[in-house]
Amino acid sequence: MLEKLKRRFLPKMKGRADLENANQEFLAEIAPLGGLSFEQEKLVKTGTGYEACIYVHGYPKEVAAHWLTLLTGIEDTICVLDIGSTNKAQIKKNLRNSLDEQNSRYRTARSDGEAIDAQQKYEEIAEMYREVNSYGNIMKTLLARIYVSGKTMYETDEKIREVISELEGSSFKCAVNLNETKSEWRNGFLSYSQQQNTIYRRSGQPILSRALAGGHPFHFSSLHDPHGMYLGLTPTGGAVIFDLFRKTKIRMSYDFVAIGKKGSGKSTTLKKLMLHRAISGDLVRVFDVSGEFAKETRKLGGKIISLDGQTDSIINILQILPDENQSVAYNKHISKVSTIWRYLKHGQVDENELLILKLVLRLLYLQFGFLDKDGNLAKDLKAARTTEFPILSDMLDLVHFMLDHYDDYEEEIQGISKVRRNQVPVLETIELKLNDLCTSYRKLFNGHTTVEDFYSEKVVCFNMKNLTAMEDTIYDAQLYNALSVCWDNCLIVGSEMKERYETKTIADQDIVHSLILLDEAHRTINANKLAGVEEVVSMIREGRKYFAAIGLASPSIRDFVPDSVGSDAVEKIRTMFELTTYKFVMNQDSNVLPKLREVFQNALSDKEIEGIPTLGQGECIFSIAGDRNLECSIYVSEEELTFFDGGM
């Protein structure tokens, strides 16, 4: 009889030949370090400490969604769930027998309490029978084991006590099965069907498949911002509810970068973010190089401004934008004009030319009454009309005058300082560029601002489609000029919000935020145009205080960092990316993986970077700096696709 039991329940031992043919290196790799001992009644002794198996033999009568996380989510433990199928006919037979038994107990009950207990159990079994019989639900069996470990026997016993106490608090029943240490250790590696062929086999807890599915424990990868929008799902089914302007101890700013090949879903993601901010009542400014944001802008009741010179829309480069501090406003303006000048000259501007340019600007604003003789602002910028500011042709006239009256001496003619003879060549260079701007590109640059009314608009789209066909210098200068005006708009709104927030006169959810979306950002912001990078970095650093964000989008990481640039340029791009709190990395070619590692460094793991070329349409690595990285599949409804005029 004993031999028959051994043959039935004990696995066949491998012969010496089988062991010799086994992969010894693999066995050495997976073997427990130091060996194992099963001599103790409830602990397994290993070469590094002790282990124990807690068997769950009772389950709550009522459970909530994802209830299995109560088992799988215990810190510093390993949970093994074995699920087996059952015979439906046998289950129905067992349930009928149980119904008959409870009915008999109810009829023969000697007290009201016994009758109530029997009736309650009868109703529970009857409900289960109806589920199986009428609705076609399948019964499963569940075996749950939780493995704990410790360096010492005392530490392991303490962990056993803590885990059992925690589970019993959630209405589970569990225990360590004495003298079954070897069997329980092996069960961690055997399937449910294999376990049923051992001496210490256990049938498990019968459970409806629907209840088991509702216990789905692998939903840890998720994001739930209180005022967020539904962005999509993680591979484990966790929802990504994202609020761009959510502020925590870790998420302290709001800027983002989005990278994805054509068709990967990058533009659709931008449109979702734009829609969410617009319907939240925030300020949205979009720089659209393809024209695909126009329809959404119109549906949101926004304004479209063309910056290609085909309309009367002009933003005066020389208009000084107001600031809380007058002197700061002028200095920021001079810095802006200097940056635009660098763009117009392909970056080939020496320090001497910039100094002469600043001198011309100072004299120009002195002539128009915006500066006094001490160089201080003499007019209220907020009250000044757009027609009061000089335009490029006025600046050109001033340069002509200065060239006509140069001398070696410091004298004045009509209140304007003479220039020295050695400054004439530089002035002539400035004159040539100004003349080109005032003739060839007069509809773009030479005029007073005509789009000031957009300040009151919630949603504004700057159409850059035709501008992309022009020279890079013109595109960059026009884009940066418009970007500066938008940023000023954001700071004006943000300053008011900041004051109300600090005085606690506005609730967090009522704050008006500002978002600037820059599609095809690499055209102006890349390692070959570091002036633009530095300006964006400055905006990112400053925007957090004024509830403002910048979103940069590009098809490839290589667009931002071409292969030919030096390490200093790469470092500045990396700094810019590090300052952005959010990164949406969509499908990229495998040949850019080294560049991704170089730029993102510790922001993305090697495994995440290796998986980027395999991302499908709408899938992305959503990185939140200092918090978490999520693999997310962006969700777009049919209504949204219609609203966006297509996508994905």
Q: Are 321 and 346 found together in one domain? A: yes
Encode pLDDT of 280-317 as tens digits. Answer: 999 999 998 888 898 999 999 998 888 887 777 788 99
Residue 642 resides in a domain:
no
- Proportion of the chain above pLDDT 90, given as a percent: 39
DSSP assignment of 463-487? E-TGGGGS-HHHHHHHHHHHHHHHH
Q: How far apart are CA 393 and CA 30, in angstroms?
A: 79
Encode pLDDT of 467-483 as tens digits. Answer: 888 888 888 888 888 88
Encode pLDDT of 150-198 as tens digits. Answer: 999 999 999 999 999 999 999 999 999 999 999 999 998 888 888 888 8
Residue 453 resides in a domain:
no
Which positions ≥6 away from 374 have C-beta within 8 Å? none
Residue 325 pLDDT greater than 80, yes or no: no
Residue 619 resides in a domain:
no
Q: Are 205 and 347 found together in one domain? A: no
Q: How confident is the model at residue 498 (pLDDT cuts 50, 70, 90)?
A: very high
Q: How far apart are CA 502 and CA 464, in angstroms?
A: 37
Name the most confidently modeled range: 41-55, 194-208, 370-384, 600-614.
41-55
Residue 418 resides in a domain:
yes
Least confident residue range of 201-215, 522-536, 602-616? 522-536
- How confident is the model over 557-577, as a mean pLDDT? 78
Q: How confident is the model at residue 1 (pLDDT cuts 50, 70, 90)?
A: very low
Q: Are 100 and 163 found together in one domain? A: no
Give residue 230's pLDDT: 94
Q: Are 96 and 207 found together in one domain? A: no
Q: Are 160 and 191 found together in one domain? A: yes
Tally of domains in the chain: 3
Which residue segment(s) compose the domain that 123 sits in? 89-132
Q: Are 73 and 179 found together in one domain? A: yes
Give residue 9's pLDDT: 46
Residue 306 resides in a domain:
no
Residue 475 resides in a domain:
no
- Proportion of the chain above pLDDT 70, given as a percent: 92
Residue 533 pLDDT greater than 60, yes or no: yes
Q: Are 107 and 186 found together in one domain? A: no
Answer with the one of 409, 432, 448 that is the final residue of a domain. 448
Q: How confident is the model at residue 81 (pLDDT cuts 50, 70, 90)?
A: very high
Q: Are 63 and 210 found together in one domain? A: yes
Q: How confident is the model at residue 538 (pLDDT cuts 50, 70, 90)?
A: confident
Q: How confident is the model at residue 94 (pLDDT cuts 50, 70, 90)?
A: confident
Helices (H), 135-259: 153-169, 181-187, 192-195, 209-214
Q: What CATH number has the domain bearing residue 434?
A: 1.10.8
Residue 410 resides in a domain:
yes
Residue 472 resides in a domain:
no
Distances in Å between the Cα of 384 and the Cα atoms of 377, 455, 456 are 12, 15, 17
Residue with more model confidence, 167 or 64: 167
Q: Are 107 and 65 found together in one domain? A: no
Give residue 414's pLDDT: 47
Exposed e or buried b per residue across 468-486, where buried means at least 16 C-beta atoms within 10 angstroms of its C-beta:
eebeebbbbbbbbbbbbbb
Q: Are 81 and 102 found together in one domain? A: no
Give residue 18's pLDDT: 61
- How confident is the model over 268-285, as a mean pLDDT? 94
- Amino acid letter, 173: K
Encode pLDDT of 402-455 as tens digits. Answer: 888 765 434 454 444 555 666 788 888 999 999 999 998 888 889 898 876 677
Give residue 19's pLDDT: 60
Residue 647 pLDDT greater than 70, yes or no: no
Q: Are 208 and 73 found together in one domain? A: yes
Q: How far apart are CA 349 and CA 471, in angstroms?
A: 18
Helices (H), 40-87: 69-72
Quote the mean pLDDT of the chain. 85
Question: Measuring CA to CA, which residue among 533, 540, 535, 611 is closest to residue 565?
Answer: 533
Give residue 170's pLDDT: 92
Q: How confident is the model at residue 646 (pLDDT cuts 50, 70, 90)?
A: low
The residue behind tokens 């043919």 is 21
Q: Are 97 and 163 found together in one domain? A: no
Give residue 420's pLDDT: 66
Encode pLDDT of 111-149 as tens digits. Answer: 888 888 888 888 887 877 777 776 556 778 899 999 999
Q: How far apart are CA 466 and CA 477, in angstroms?
A: 15
